[in-house]
């Protein structure tokens, strides 16, 4: 079930494997800031490997939903489980480690560490996820995303489109079980938006990762079969 401001369409086409916990499972989850709920009694189930698009106007709660899934926020009521784990039961350090090992997030703004070059940014992501530096996978990932030429370049010297592909590479290099993308194409031109959206879908597919992407960008809506529509009455 979804709340009055949300709808799920269409339902998943692939049936979950027997005994496998869903990637995401929200049950009557209400989330908000300072007592004002942004999402109310949201029910949502995402199986492993599924690709979902979360759409809605600004203020509808798209980013709030991702923050809930990443463990930055806790539901005021109801429950939210990620990979079968109720994140509210974890202490903050354990939640941080769980997020690092299982999830990756791509933002509208790239948020790359300016003091590090591209390779070092990817290396930092792997180390914080509890992995080794993985030089081979780092260079392979950069090559797959077409930014291997910038391996030693600092983020400040990249174009917005190049930086967004590097940010995507940083997310993929930890081989996350769940890939969250928060308006990743909003600041890109048509060509780059198309490229990034394609890469997100392809790489998530290749890794078998569950992909949840929020957007109000009409250019990428048609690429996702499964959609969660939030905040019909949301305000910007």
Kindly tell me which of 8 and 200 has the beta carbon lying closer to another protein: 200
Q: Which of 1, 17, 76, 113 binds another protein (CB under 8 A)?
A: 113
> How many residues form the binding site for another protein (CB under 8 A)?
34
Q: If binding is defined by CB under 8 A, does position 129 make contact with another protein?
A: yes
Residue 105 binds another protein, judged by CB under 8 A: yes
39 binds another protein (CB under 8 A): no
Does the footprint of another protein cover residue 72 (CB under 8 A)? yes
Least CB distance from residue 182 to another protein, whole Å?
8
DSSP code per residue over the chain: ---TT-EEES--SSPPPTTPPPSEEEEEEEEEETTEEEEEEEEEEE-TT-EEEEE--TTSSHHHHHHHHHTSS--SEEEEEETTEEGGGS-HHHHHHHHHHHEEEE-SS----TTS-HHHHHHHHHHHTT----HHHHHHHHHHTT-GGGTT--GGGS-HHHHHHHHHHHHHTT--SEEEEESTTTTS-HHHHHHHHHHHHHHHHHHT-EEEEEE--TTSGGG-SEEEE--TT---
Q: Which stretch binds another protein (CB under 8 A): 12-20, 35-43, 65-73, 211-219?
A: 65-73
Question: Binding of another protein at residue 114 (CB under 8 A)?
Answer: yes
CB of 95 to another protein, least distance (A): 9
Q: Is 207 in the site for another protein (CB under 8 A)?
A: no
**Interface with another protein (CB under 8 A):** 63-64, 67, 70, 72-73, 92-93, 96-97, 99-101, 104-105, 107, 109, 111-116, 120, 123-125, 127-130, 133, 170, 174
């Amino acid at each position: 079930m979804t709340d009055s401001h949300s709808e799920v369409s269409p339902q998943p086409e692939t049936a979950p494997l027997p005994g496998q916990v869903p990637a995401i499972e929200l049950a009557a989850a209400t989330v908000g800031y300072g007592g004002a709920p942004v999402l109310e009694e949201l029910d949502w189930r995402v199986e492993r490997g599924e690709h979902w698009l979360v759409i809605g106007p600004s203020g509808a709660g798209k980013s709030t939903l991702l923050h809930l899934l990443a463990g930055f926020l806790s539901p005021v009521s109801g429950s939210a489980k990620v990979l079968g784990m109720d994140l509210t039961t974890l202490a903050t350090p354990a939640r941080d480690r769980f997020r690092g090992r299982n999830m990756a997030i791509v933002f509208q703004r790239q948020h790359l560490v300016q003091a590090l070059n591209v390779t070092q940014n990817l290396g930092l992501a792997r180390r914080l996820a509890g992995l080794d530096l993985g030089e081979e996978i780092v260079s392979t990932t950069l090559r797959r995303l077409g930014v291997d030429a910038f391996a030693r370049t600092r983020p400040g010297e990249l174009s917005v489109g190049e930086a967004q592909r590097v940010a995507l590479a940083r997310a993929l290099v930890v081989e996350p079980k769940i890939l969250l993308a928060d308006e990743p194409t909003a600041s890109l031109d048509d060509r780059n938006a198309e490229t990034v959206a394609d890469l997100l879908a392809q790489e998530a597919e290749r890794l078998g990762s569950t992909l949840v992407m929020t957007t109000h960008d009409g250019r990428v809506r048609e690429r996702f079969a499964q959609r969660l529509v939030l905040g019909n009455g949301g305000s910007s």
